[in-house]
Amino acid sequence: MNPTEEISRLINLEYSDKPEWIARLFGITLGSVLLAQLTHKSPVLLWCVGFALAHLVYYLFLRSNLKSATMRELRIAQTLFLVVLISFVWAPAWMVAQDSRAVSLAGAGLFGCVLVYLIRRNDVSLYVIVSEIVVIWATMTCVLIKVLPDFNGLVSRIGLVVCWMALVSYFAQSMLQSRALKLAEQQARDNASQAQKLAAVGQMAGGVAHDFNNHLTVISGSLELYDDLEDPKGRADCLDAARTAADQAALIVNELLLFARRTPIRLVNLEANAPLIDIDLLARRLLSRDVEMTVGFLQHLTCVQADRRQIVTALLNLIVNANDAMPRGGTVIVRAGLVTISAPLNVAGGHSLQRGRYVSYDVRDTGEGIPAEHLALVVEPFFTTKPEGKGTGLGLAMVLSIAQGLGGGVLIRSGARGTTVSVLLPQVECKEVVGSDGADT
């Protein structure tokens, strides 16, 4: 389970439907007032106060960990939800145990709403599900102990206990079955996604093989020519050509491995400039002679939660695309910047980024741009605008896969004067920073 993704799911689950949330809070407040008047017990007013305070703490904690969360922080968030649950459920339980039939039925109805809501949440954490079952079991046990003496006769008491056991058992069974179905659905979705990726790799096997063979030919030819030459400069040129072809062949392998999710991923609090240090050293050998490159660094310490190698590979692919878009030469500008998104932003692949601060890795070329009708297609894993043998079609699809896996997205802007592809990743707090010295590769 990804802690950051689960935190995002929790905050969307609880607070994305604002009208429902407002109606819920208003209903509990009104219910507390009416209940206090009906029962003449003012402590009932603590129901709405306790519920509101518990939700406030829960909401603030979720918001503070929305961009980056650890398993420990996720466990705290889950525990805070249990506090919210207890702050609500005690009142319906107390109502069920009252002598007033109206109050008792109202409490039973509210308790039923709680059970339905918990099943609807689709939690998959075993800790959360078991804890919810325990809370409901303990609450209903308290109610049973309170009302059992009101039933006369052994048969009626046995019937009440059996009904109590049936309700708790079916609730627990429903929660566990819901979890099993959710996990099966996630597994099926992951399998389908993996199958699509492997199918895409198969569709482009010809292009990959052609590209790889071209690079092997360059390497082999350069080494043969190296043996025949005596001029040191000519030999150096042969080695440079072989080295460049080897780098490009390795890049194709990295594309396939990363896109198929076979490369181990190590997420750390990464200094945002660290990948640009690698780019400044590696990318220049991938550029044509007539293409220049400039690299712009962030001026202040800024961090993202990412795998350094993934960002480097993504940027290298974008640089190769930019180089190919300028056959007559030009300039590639690679820079990192800070972006504040104040409203949901639509990005490539039909996704959107939520409000917040992001680090934007921009790769801009001065080529002819991407035709408007192709903009929505260039991130598809089997789509390429290059001639056969000139590209695998994996580049942008792989970049998009990396960005989404890191909680970000890809923004593509293109016009007659060139194309800018931005990889947007959530900014995180710089604690236990890795990569600030450029040594962690």
- List Cβ neighbours of 92 (8 Å cut-off, separation of 6 or more): 107, 108, 110, 111, 114
% pLDDT > 90, the chain = 17
**Measured between alpha carbons, how far is 193 from 199 in angstroms, rounded to an integer?**
10
The predicted structure's pLDDT at residue 389: 46
Each domain of the chain, given as residue ranges in start order, spans 3-193, 265-428
- pLDDT of 84 reads 92
Whether the CB-CB separation of 86 and 132 falls below 8 Å is answered with no
pTM confidence score: 0.55
Tens of pLDDT, residues 288-311: 888 899 999 999 999 998 888 888
Give helix 71-96 / helix 46-64 axis angle, nearest 10°. 170
- For residue 134, name the pLDDT band (cuts at 50, 70, 90): very high
Backbone CA torsion sign across 221, 250, 196, 370: negative
In tens, the pLDDT along 139-190 reads 999 988 888 888 888 888 898 889 889 988 999 999 999 888 888 877 776 6
Q: Give percent above pLDDT 70 in the chain.
A: 81
Which region among 122-126, 160-164, 264-268 has the lowest average model confidence (pLDDT)?
264-268
Token pair, residue 384, equals 């390429």
Domain 265-428: CATH architecture, name and number where available: 2-Layer Sandwich (3.30)
Take residue 352 and report the two structure tokens written for it.
């959107």
423: its two tokens: 């990889």
> In sequence order, what are the residues at sequence separation of 6 or more whose Cβ sits closer than 8 angstroms to the Cβ of residue 141?
none
Residue 12 to residues 7, 8, 75, 94: CA-CA distances in angstroms?
9, 6, 17, 30
Average pLDDT over residues 221-237: 83
CA distance 434 to 47: 47
What are the helix (H) ranges across 148-231? 154-203, 205-228
Q: Residue 440: what pLDDT?
A: 44
Most confident of 1-5, 201-205, 344-348: 344-348
What pLDDT is attached to residue 373? 64
